[in-house]
C-alpha cells in the first residue's frame, strides 16, 4: 500500500537521521512548501580541495542526495542511483550549500530527477541529473 506524501517524508527523514553521512557532512534534510526534499550543508573547511574551494565530490554528493530523496518520495521501495550527471558551474569558497531536486519522470522501473546546488548568495554553483532504479526492496 502506497504511503501518503507526509508519511513517506517522515519515513525518509527518520531514514536519513540514521545515516552516518548526515553527521559526517553536517547535512540537514527538510521538505519545502512545494513538497521537495532540500539538503542544507554548512561550510566545512575539511571539504576544501588544495586551492581552497569546496571539492566537487562533496557537491556531487549533495546533488545525488537531492535527486535520490525527491525520487524516493514517490515509491515505497528502495531506489538506487543508476546514473548521475554533474556539472560544476562555479567554484565555492567558504559558503554553506543548499541542494534541491525536481522529479522529471516516475516509472515502474526508473525515475529521473534534475537537481541544483546553490551557495548562500543564491548563486547556482552546480546542476545535475540522475536516473534512479526502483528495486523490489521495501523501505
Nearest to 114 by CA among 50, 63, 69: 63
Q: In which element (H, E) is residue 10 found?
A: helix 5-17
**pLDDT given at position 96:** 98
> pLDDT tens digit string along 79-126?
999 999 999 999 999 999 999 999 999 999 999 999 999 999 999 999
Q: How far apart are CA 63 and CA 59, in angstroms?
A: 6
Cβ–Cβ under 8 Å, residues 100 and 67: no
Q: What is the DSSP letter of 3?
A: P
Is a pLDDT exceeding 80 seen at residue 1? no
The tens digit of pLDDT for each residue in 32-77 reads: 988 899 999 999 999 999 999 999 999 999 999 999 999 999 999 9
C-alpha distances (whole Å) from 6 to each of 30, 33, 51, 52, 71 are 12, 12, 42, 40, 14
Q: How confident is the model at residue 2 (pLDDT cuts 50, 70, 90)?
A: low
74-88: pLDDT as tens digits? 999 999 999 999 999
Q: Which CATH number fits the domain 5-138, given the four candidates 3.40.630.30, 2.40.110.10, 1.20.1630.10, 3.10.129.10?
A: 3.10.129.10
Q: What is the pLDDT of residue 33?
A: 86
Domain ranges of the chain: 5-138
Amino acid at each position: 500500500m502506497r504511503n501518503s506524501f507526509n508519511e513517506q517524508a517522515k519515513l525518509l527523514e527518520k531514514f536519513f537521521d540514521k545515516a552516518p553521512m548526515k553527521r559526517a557532512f553536517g547535512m540537514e534534510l527538510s521538505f519545502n512548501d512545494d513538497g521537495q526534499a532540500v539538503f542544507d550543508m554548512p561550510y566545512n573547511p575539511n571539504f576544501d580541495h588544495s586551492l581552497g574551494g569546496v571539492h566537487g565530490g562533496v557537491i556531487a554528493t549533495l546533488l545525488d542526495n537531492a535527486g535520490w530523496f525527491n525520487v524516493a518520495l514517490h515509491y515505497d521501495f528502495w531506489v538506487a542511483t543508476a546514473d548521475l550527471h554533474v556539472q560544476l558551474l562555479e567554484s565555492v569558497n567558504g559558503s554553506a550549500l543548499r541542494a534541491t531536486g525536481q522529479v522529471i519522470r516516475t516509472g515502474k522501473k526508473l525515475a529521473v530527477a534534475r537537481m541544483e546546488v546553490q551557495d548562500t548568495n543564491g548563486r547556482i554553483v552546480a546542476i545535475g541529473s540522475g536516473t534512479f532504479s526502483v528495486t523490489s526492496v521495501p523501505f
